[in-house]
Each structure stands twice: as structure tokens, then as C-alpha cells.
Amino acid sequence: MNIPYNCLHARGGILFASRGGRLHSFKLSDMSFISTWIHPAVESIAESAQEAQKLAEQSEQVSQTATDATAVAVEEVPAQEDGDEPPAKRAKVEPEAADKSDAKQEDKQKGKKKKGGKDGQKDNMRLAHVPDRPIIIQLTSTDDGKHVVAVTGHDKAVWVFEHDGNGNLKELSKRVMPKRPSSIVVTPEANILSADKFGDVYQLPLIPSADFTPKPSTLAALSKQPFTKPAATPLTVHSKGNLQALANQQRQIELEGSGKEISVRAEEPNFELLLLLGHVSMLTSLCIGQVDGRKYILTSDRDEHIRVSRFTPQAHIIQSFCLGHKHFINDMTIPELRPEILVSGGGDDDLFVWDWVNGKLLSTVSMLDVVKTIAPDAAAVAVSNLCSLTCPDESGPLPYVLAICEGSSGIFTWKVTEDGSLKCPGIIQLPGKPLDLIVVPGDKPTIAVALHTPEASEAKSVHIFELGINDDRLCVNTDSVLQDNELDQPGLEATDAEIKGLFYTIEQLRKQSGGNEEEGGQDDN
């Protein structure tokens, strides 16, 4: 089957949709195709796949020839007639020997699998490794839509394109990051913030400086410095906000281990790059919040932490921690109408609603109970995407939160109430398993979802839903699909196991019992 669309982004009436190493653009008005950017490695991957197919066919032919030769060699000797000389001795050939050898080899392989981890843990961790083919894993753009930013996972590259406003892209730069980015945002100041699998957040300019000269001491010196205690003390800091910030910095010292050196994480890059902050665990999500005119950087990690840091140039100051998750956090969203509220989700059965500036938990709502309405056998959830939407109503605009879970064929919605609770749960059932969900900017509340559909299904991979409100729950008013049959090209073929290895990796963030789990993704680069 073909690789499905896995990453979407919409801006200025244009939908950008990635499929493998290809980035297509479409008009949202009629879903017509505009243009395609192709990763330089796609062609070589396709050629390698063709070569592998030829080698497999040749190997099969050789194997068949050897099988035929063996069959001739073991033919039964004709019966001896009276008076004839005894037949010449023939070497005894036992075709069963090859079968026994294969069986022994298979037993050895089974034994190795049994020695893996508990419940196949090692095999699961293998799926989280860096893909061996170009896959676009992040898409975003500037607020004016003049530039589009993409991230490819296999080469850790951040790509910046110039967008003419009509769906045509011009590649401007490619920058390989020290570690694989897991989440990116573009700031109004024309900077890219990139959170990575090693736990760091970097800032780099949207447009690289042509006259930049690397300084040997920048990153290397920072990464070799021990994490020292702040010079300020409760005796020298008096305001309530600064006292809280100092307490948060001291808590960070406790988390990282006072006096331990931070290992060198990357070689000096050949482009302008600034290390802003770091966690002691792989980062999973990054967003920008603003309350009372002050901006903050919010980061979540695999170790159940949400950290709220002040915006640059004070990103080293920790405003608060949102602590309460028991399993990994994978995504966060801030409703446009309620900027003081943060909704987070991941491996827990619940979604969490926070007063994030003060690090206070406001409420929780069961994600698992809603998922069980369409998947009764579900024992756990892995939230893969969260987003927020404003929907017009007779009483005024209302904020909603939408979520998708890995392997669950539905979009789950809640209304955000005045007290910070999530009420009125709703479900938009889908003809496949969602891989990405975005809100489409515009006058009408619209979302787009990328689906992994069954091979025999005629359902399309990308659906555009215009939404409305029915009994305080979101409902679908119109449903349009992406017609892209003419875009099927060589190099998109993949087995079901390959697709699962590429796109079904959220659940693997869950820590296995026994304490022997690897730090998923940190050895991925």
C-alpha cells in the first residue's frame, strides 16, 4: 500500500500536506492540486527500493534453481536387473538436513526474541528509531504565510521555504540540527524555536545570516558547564514573582542533580543557533503562551513534566511547573479565547487542564472513557494530537478542545467552560486512523485530518470538515476530501509493518515496568 499523508498545515487558503518525502500544496476552496516539493533523497530511496526488488527476484530465481537441482540429485535409483553389476555408489543427499538447519536457525531467532524485553519491549523500542527514508514530521509557517518551515526526521533537518501566497514553494535553506527536532514554532520575531529528542530548546533565525561565523565557544562551552546554583537567594529577592522563579530554579537543580556536569550534546553548528533551555528528558511538545502582555515558552517531556519558562531573552528563568501527569505528555494546546488555560494529554487516561502561569491543576476529564465508546476493548490511550477551536454560537464564540489518539478512529471534542472544565464530550467518527489533525484558519470553524485507511478501503487519506454546534457539541456540517489520485508516484509503497513503524510511535513513549527501558529517542539522534 502507499504511504498515507501524515502531516498537515493550512495558511491563507492553502493546504500543505506531506506524504513521505513529498510536500504537496492544494487550494482549500476546491481541493485542487498546486505544486510539489520533493526531498532530494526521495529519488535515491526509490532507486534503492527498485534495486532491492531486483535482488530479491534474483535470489528467488537462484533459490528455485538450487531446489530443482536438489530434486534431480535425490531421484530414486532404478531397480537393479539380474546379472548387472552393482551400481556405482552415490553420495547420500538428505534434503531434510537443510530443513533441519533452517529450523535450528529459526529456533535461535525465536530465542533471541524471547531474550528481548518484557512483552517484546526491545522490538517495540526498535520501531521508534530514526526512519531510513525521508519523512516530513513537522510543518508550520509564519503568521503572514510568506514562509513555510518543515522538519524531516531521518536527517534532523529544518527546511525553510519562501511561499508566494498561491501554494508555490521556493527552498531557501536546509539546516541540520544537533538532535532530531520533536516540535517547532515560528515566533513573530522571525525566529524558529526547536525542541528536540535530547531535551533542549534552540532558537535559530528564520532566514540564516549570510555573514555568520561560528564561534567555537558558543554551544560547546555551554554544554560543558556544570549546572551551578543561582547567585540570588531568598534574602536578596523580595517580589513574589521573583521568589517563585527562584524556587523553580532550585527545583530544576534538584531535578538535574546539583554538581553534575552536563555532557557535551552537539558539535558546534555552522549556522546561528542559540541554546535557550533544557530538560533532563526528551521533549515532546512546545508552544508559546501569552498572559497580561508577557510571553512564555511551554515545554513538555516524556518524564511527565510541563515547564513554563519566560520568553527570550529570559528563557533561563522558570515561571512554574505543571506537575501531575503519571505517564508521558505528548501534546498541549492553549484555547484562543482562554489564553490562561492549558490542556495537556499523553499516556494518562485523562486530559489535564491547567492554570499554567501559576502551575495549578484546574480539572481533569477522562479520555479513556470517551475512547471506549467507539473502542470498548481499549485499555489505555496515547494522545497523539491536541488542538483548540473557536466556534460561533448565538450566545457568542465558544472555545473547544479536540483530540485524536493513536489507533482510535475518531476525533474527540469538548467544550471549555468558564471554570476551566471540559464538558459536553463529542465524537466525530472517521473511516480510518488519524495521523494528524489541524485547525484551518478562516471565517468558518474548519479542521483537516490525515488518515491511515485500510488498504481495501476507498476512503481518502485527507478529509476537511466544516463544523457546527449541536446541543453544545461539535458536529460536522460538510465533509470534503482530497482528490489526489494523479499524485501517486514511485517510492511511496510500504508494507503495513513499515507504516506502523513510521507513524505509530506515540505508545512507545510509555515506560515499561521493570526499569530496563531505554530513553526512547535519545539514541535516535
| Residue 213 included in any domain | no
| Residue 449 included in any domain | yes
pLDDT over 70 for what percent of the chain?
70
The reported pLDDT for the residue numbered 482 is 86
* Structural domain total, the chain: 1
- Tell me the pLDDT band of 94, cut-offs 50, 70 and 90: very low
Q: Which of 153, 124, 123 is nearest to 136 (CA)?
A: 153
| Of 158-167, 320-329, 483-492, the least confident | 483-492
| Residue 460 included in any domain | yes
Question: How far, CA to CA in Å, does 117 sit from each of 87, 160, 415?
Answer: 57, 40, 41
- Which residues are CB-contacts of 351 (< 8 A; sequence separation ≥ 6)? 343, 344, 345, 364, 365, 367, 383, 386, 401, 403, 414, 422
Residue 310 lies in domain: 7-48+128-208+270-509
Mean pLDDT of the chain: 81
pTM of the model: 0.77
* CB 458 within 8 Å of CB 447: no
Could you give the CA distance from residue 344 to residue 301 in angstroms, rounded to a whole number? 11
| Residue 155 included in any domain | yes
The reported pLDDT for the residue numbered 426 is 96
> Would you tell me how many other CB atoms lie within 10 Å of the CB of residue 280?
16
| Residue 299 included in any domain | yes
433-464 pLDDT per residue, tens: 999 999 999 999 999 999 998 876 777 889 99
| Of 286-295, 310-319, 403-412, 489-498, the least confident | 489-498
| Residue 170 included in any domain | yes
| Residue 91 included in any domain | no
The reported pLDDT for the residue numbered 270 is 82
Q: Is 145 left (phi over 0), alpha (psi -120 to 50) or beta?
A: left
268-314 pLDDT per residue, tens: 678 999 999 999 999 999 999 999 999 999 999 999 999 999 999 99
Look up residue 509 and give its DSSP letter.
G
- Tell me the pLDDT band of 495, cut-offs 50, 70 and 90: confident
- Report whether the peptide linkage leading into residue 454 is cis, meaning its omega lies within 30 degrees of zero: no
Domain of residue 149, CATH code: 2.130.10.10
H helix intervals, 290-428: 367-371
| Residue 55 included in any domain | no
